[in-house]
Structure 1
Amino acid sequence: PAGPALPSVKRPTAKPSGVFQSHRESDRIQVMPRSGAMAADSYACLAHLAGAGFEVIEELPLTGLVIVRAARADRSVQDSVSRLEAMPWVDWAAPDGIVHAAAAPNDRYYELLQWNMRAASLPEAWGITTGEERAVVVAVLDSGIRPEHEDIAGKLAGGWDFTVPGGDPDPTDEPSLDIGFSHGTHVAGIIAAATDNAVGVAGVSWGASLMPIRVLAGDGRGSEAWLAEGIRWAVANGANVINMSLGTDESPGQALEDAIGFAHSSGVIMVAAAGNDASSKVLYPASDSRVIGVSATGRYNELAGYSNYGYEIDIAAPGGNVARRYKPQDAVVSTGYIVSPSKSECGYMWAEGTSMAAPHVSGVAALVLARMGPMSPSDMARLLRDTAVDLGMPGDDSEFGAGLVNAHAAVTQSTMDRAVFAVYSPEGRVVSTVGCGSRSDRSFELQCVVEGNHYLVGWLDVNQSGDIDTGDYFNVVPIAVPSGGANVQVSQFELLYLESAAQVDSAIRGAIQSVPGAFHEPFAIDPLQMTGGRR
């Protein structure tokens, strides 16, 4: 019996172009039957394949493809394709390339312990870029680092220590027993630990280099003057991004404000931690509008109990929240250097704080720069905000800013202005394709929509395949148009990442079930009927 209508079942009209290359050759071959051939006599078609020396692996009903491989190992894929296309009932045949939707590093603690990377959509982002296309240097203004750490060694691009008179080119952290660990080493590992090396942890940007600049002494304290000097040193020595997992609750002095202005006007992106006092006062420099201020979230995307908040917050990122469940694994694991009376050694350790949240954002900024090239600090801040996953109150708020950093959306520039839209009736008829909305606050206005209950559908074709598929952004929400029709305002419309095309059907069913009394079947979506609006 026939099932309910499924969305996005448009068959390819032409043989795949090969624009998107697989990572290695597959022995699988896609076969597209001519229209109606399988319906007329599928047994004869399959028997023809078997008789010609092909093994049928699977049939895919939504695309209409038959997947085969040559029974003879000595027959090349291209030869097999030619033989298949000579069959009268075959429209086209093509190699079935192997694609990787997300990259999974082999670092020892990644899969089990690094929930924070998944929270920030980094596995999906790594399927697009690991940050190795262009050289990007992230300056870590902190307590210094331990250069001998196995996941830090080989990642360094110079550095300086401003905590000793006259300065020193060796920014090695020497934490006191009271502090107990190297704060800067932990922060640096989140940004760019050596990744996919079968040891330790994964960093956000696999390709970025680290520039440790020591502005905090062994007791975890520093001065505004050291910080101002460190910012200027980072700019002068080629840093593209400056991470500052530190701050002050005092009004900044002129020297520090001027240094921030110098870095901003020089095109260097600055990221800073909001603070860990559960206070509405965001620390400086996170509170400076020229700096991306970051609050912290826990494993469940809640605001961490310690995180500062306020209107100066731009974005949120994973920082850990142990107090929610009192489990250490709800903190963030990264590279560490642990100090005790008996011994001091490099290793891996848990820590939580907005100090851990900020480096996620710095690492994502490094990924974006590696893939897209130079970008002004203002444009970077806008991109990160406009691609964030909204949390808390709809729209921008004082706890999460624009929302949780979304690495995949950022590196693919998946902003609302690139999406297409349509309004469907319950019967599956398009009743409006005109959408006017805002890229930043994701509000939406639909024009000339007829009266009744409808569904607003949005889609961003990330891979430009022409089909709604894995890796795209999609959503559907019910809307009610009042008597007389005219224009309709949607307060916020957020597109969601598709882990599989099956989620499209689930999203439509969920939208239908959210409307009282709506008992109709899911409607089919034709991507060709969706249009972009002015945003």
Structure 2
Amino acid sequence: MEIQKKFAVFSLLPFCFFCAHSANALKVERLPIAGPASVSAAAPPAKPGREVASGRAFVEFGAGLSSAAAAGVVSAAGFELVDGVYPGGWNLVLLPHGMSVSSALSVLKSLPGVAAVEPSGVYHVKRKSSDPALVLQYSLRRADAFRAWDYETGASSRVTVAVMDTGIDGSHPELVSKLAVGSQFFDPNNNGVQSLNDPPTPACNHATRVAGAAAAASDNNYGIAGISWDARLLSLKIFNDADCNTDCSDAAAAAACSTDDVAIIKAINYAVGLNNSAAAGRIVLNMSIGEGVACSVPLQAALTPAATAGLVLIAAAGNSPVGGIDSPANCLGVMPVGATDINDNIASFSARGTEMSSRGVVAPGVGIYTTDLRGSFAYGDGTSFASPFAAGLAALVLSANPALTGVQAGDIIRNSADNLGSRETYGFGRVNAYKAVLLALGKLSSYSTSPDMAKAYAYPNPYKPSSTRPLAFSMPDSVFGSGLEISIYTSEGEKVKKVSEPNWDGKNEAGYDVASGVYLFFMKTDKGSAVGKFAVLR
């Protein structure tokens, strides 16, 4: 298997012996995504996932309640009323030591005489990386990373991007500070035998370029910025130095710069063992490797438990526009990533296929300025560099909301992507970091999918029955199983037809052509259910 070459909270608070009080720095917490973001009846609700100041909250009391009575009400519950009345009748209270703001909002609202409560929201200066080469990184502008960084830079929760590749150059100044402990080498020339490779060393330049696109050190007045400023990097080297020239070409006719399923599977298993550990946190596995073959049974057997364990699995779609999506990007549970250019056009080399339709996205992958060997920088082309961009975004999403499963993190990236056209070419669209982070924080509920039922897709959409091609249904990985039944309905709820194959000819149960319009379909297997919709045009 080859690598994919192408290349303002204010005021000091008075001392309170039983309440939280300010120290040298403002303490911040995030309201839970599904928790009581706000219990204010009068004011607009606080957004779930919002950052708020710890140890304090605002309270509005009902008309006619004296200051002394108000102080007595909150004091009896363990709170302390401080300061004077803020504009609009709001009062500041201090929380008992150790109480979360989320819990305090619920308690305060239940107190007699309390009309409304609100957290003290936290504000930041607008973030933009100080890295001088930022001007060369159109990919960050195109994917709206600058606005995403106002909300998340990857520092909220520990996430590690595992780069399963040719080995990262661990001496690069933009990567050395980002490396997690425990990089490994899985020797493809020796049955994947594992050995410590820490600090990591490169067989050739590919992994070093990939790593920079995902998570180069950022906002440090040097070099470039990774899309995730604070994600860690782990090198899982699966290529042998003796087989590769510096540019990852074959070192000799008898020594191909390549790897195999054995080394890959062992690297995947290692990553699974690190997931949710204190050192690594959540794992995003980037696989900028590929071969134009079907996903092998042993490889799928390794990837399925990795996905179940919560890893986000991302792979380069491939660098040939014909022949379909490469493996491992075509394996179930893996997000294939195609490449776009500075103008959001699909790269001429980017692979197309049904896996893009069902679970893929595209990301900038042409003219990507990134880290290179011996502390240098270089431009790279290929889905190899689109894939780590999506992997870095996955790290941002998980940092913003570590409670997400791997499947949910992938859904967020897909559902927040900007639609650019043909699903088989662009997948769900070009990744949008800003929308993805907001969706992870619960600030873009209109992009959310149903929590009870997976989302399925049909293509081509809209469907023109006059063509010789039937409508094809794409089954989500989460419901992939046996006993398939697909029930098709009009938008008014009238049943049109039930089919047991993943395609449809545009006819109802009586054999007549259906009319133009919007149709819903419900997909059911022994593993679960999914829902989707499509349009028919005649």
For Structure 1 versus Structure 2, the TM-score category normalised by the shorter chain is 0.5 to 0.7
Q: CA deviation at 1:159?
A: 1.1
The match for 1:402 is 428
The change in CA–CA distance for 1:319 and 1:279 in structure 2 (over 3 A counts) is farther
Counterpart residue number, 1:317? 362
Give the corresponding residue for 1:167. Answer: 194
- Counterpart residue number, 1:121: 144
Structure 2 residue aligned with 1:354: 383
Q: 1:108 to 1:352 in 2, by over 3 A?
A: same
CA drift at 1:269: 1.1
Paired position in structure 2 for 1:217: 240
1:108 equivalent to 2:103? Answer no
Shift of 1:383: 1.6
Report the equivalent of 1:282.
325
* Unaligned residue ranges in structure 1 (runs of 5+): 1-13, 24-77, 83-96, 177-181, 322-330, 338-344, 421-437, 443-487, 492-534
**Deviation of 1:98 (Å):** 11
Q: Tell me, in whole angstroms, the C-alpha distance in 1 between the residues paired with 2:162 and 2:299.
A: 17
How large is the Cα RMSD of the aligned pairs?
3.8
How far off its partner does 1:16 sit? 10
Residues 190, 334 of structure 1: 8 Å contact kept: yes
Q: Distance in 2 between matches of 1:128 and 1:114?
A: 20
For the residues of structure 2 that align with 1:142 and 1:367, how far apart are their CA atoms? 21
Question: Is contact 1:232–1:262 with CA below 8 Å preserved after alignment?
Answer: no
Q: Scaled by the length of structure 1, what TM-score is found?
A: 0.55
Q: 1:441 to 1:140 in 2, by over 3 A?
A: same
Deviation at 1:334, TM superposition (A): 0.8
Are 2:246 and 1:246 equivalent residues in the alignment?
Answer: no
> Contact between 1:416 and 1:439, CA under 8 Å: does it hold in 2?
no
Match of 1:302 among 314, 332, 345: 345
Partner of 1:234, secondary structure, is helix
Deviation for aligned residue 1:174: 3.7
Matches of 2:131 and 2:197, distance apart in 1 = 28
State the shift of 1:167 in Å: 2.8
Contact 2:339-2:347 within 8 A present in 1 as well: yes
Between the aligned partners of 2:217 and 2:443, the Cα distance in structure 1 is: 34
Which residue in the other structure is 1:207 paired with? 230
Counterpart Cα distance in 1 of 2:518 and 2:128: 37
Q: Equivalents in 2 of 1:275, 1:416: separation in Å? A: 34
SS of 2:127 mapped into structure 1: coil
The aligned runs of 1:132-147 (5 Å cut-off) are 132-147=155-170
Q: Are 2:370 and 1:334 aligned?
A: yes
Post-superposition offset of 1:21: 8.4
C-alpha separation between the residues in 2 aligned to 1:262 and 1:366? 20
- Tell me the alpha carbon deviations over residues 314-353 of structure 1, each in whole angstroms, 9 at most, x when there is no partner: 33333433xxxxxxxxx0011111xxxxxxx221110010
Take 2:457 and 2:194, find their aligned partners in 1: how far apart are those partners?
A: 45
Instruction: Tell me which of 412, 416, 427 is aligned to 1:383.
Output: 412
> In 2, are the aligned partners of 1:336 and 1:347 still within 8 Å (CA)?
yes
Q: Which amino acid aligns with 2:214?
A: I
How far residue 376 of structure 1 moved from its aligned partner, in angstroms, is 2.1
What is the TM-score with the length of structure 2 in the denominator?
0.55
What per-residue deviation string (whole Å, max 9, x for no partner) do you get for residues 218-264 of structure 1?
42411111111110011112351100000122234332121111211
For 2:173 and 2:391, locate their aligned partners in 1 and report how far apart those are by CA, in whole Å. 21
Check conservation: 1:294, 1:316, Cα contact below 8 A: yes
- Offset of 1:130 from its aligned partner? 0.5
246-255 vs 260-269, which moves further? 246-255
Structure 2 CA distance, aligned partners of 1:350 and 1:106?
A: 20
Are 1:137 and 1:241, in contact at CA under 8 Å, matched by a contact in 2? yes
Amino acid at match of 1:106: S
* Structure 2 CA distance for aligned equivalents of residues 440 and 409 of structure 1: 21
SS in 1 for 2:411: helix
Deviation at 1:104, TM superposition (A): 0.8
Q: Aligned partners of 1:284 and 1:21: how far apart in 2?
A: 40
The residue aligned with 1:186 is 209
For 2:176, what is the secondary structure of its paired residue? coil
CA contact (8 A) 1:385 1:440 kept: no
* C-alpha contact 2:164 2:237 (8 A) present in aligned 1: yes
Distance in 1 (alpha carbons) for counterparts of 2:332 and 2:517: 30
Given residue 302 of structure 2, which amino acid in structure 1 is its aligned partner? Answer: A
4+ runs deviating over 6 angstroms: 14-23, 414-417, 438-442, 488-491
Which residue is equivalent to 2:96?
Answer: none
The reply on whether 1:392 has 2:435 as its aligned counterpart is no
Paired letter, 1:315? G
Return closer, same or farther for 1:384/1:17 CA change in 2, 3 Å cut-off: closer
Deviations 1:353-398 (A, max 9, x none): 00000111111111111111132222222221111100114xxx10
- Distance, in Å, in 2 between the alignment partners of 1:289 and 1:150 is 36
CA contact (8 A) 2:294 2:326 kept: no
For the Cα contact (< 8 Å) 1:173–1:184, is it kept in 2? no
Report the counterpart of residue 236 of structure 1 in structure 2.
273
2:378 corresponds to which letter in structure 1?
A: M
292-301 or 165-174, larger mean C-alpha shift:
165-174
Partner of 2:402: 373
Match of 2:5 in 1: none
Q: Given that residues 350 and 382 in structure 2 are in contact (C-alpha distance below 8 angstroms), is that contact kept between their aligned partners in structure 1?
A: yes
| 8 Å contact kept, 2:362–2:386 | yes
The 3-state SS of whatever aligns with 1:304 is coil
Look up the match of 2:58.
none
Could you tell me how far 1:141 is from its partner in structure 2? 0.2
Q: Is the 8 A contact 1:138 1:242 kept in 2?
A: yes
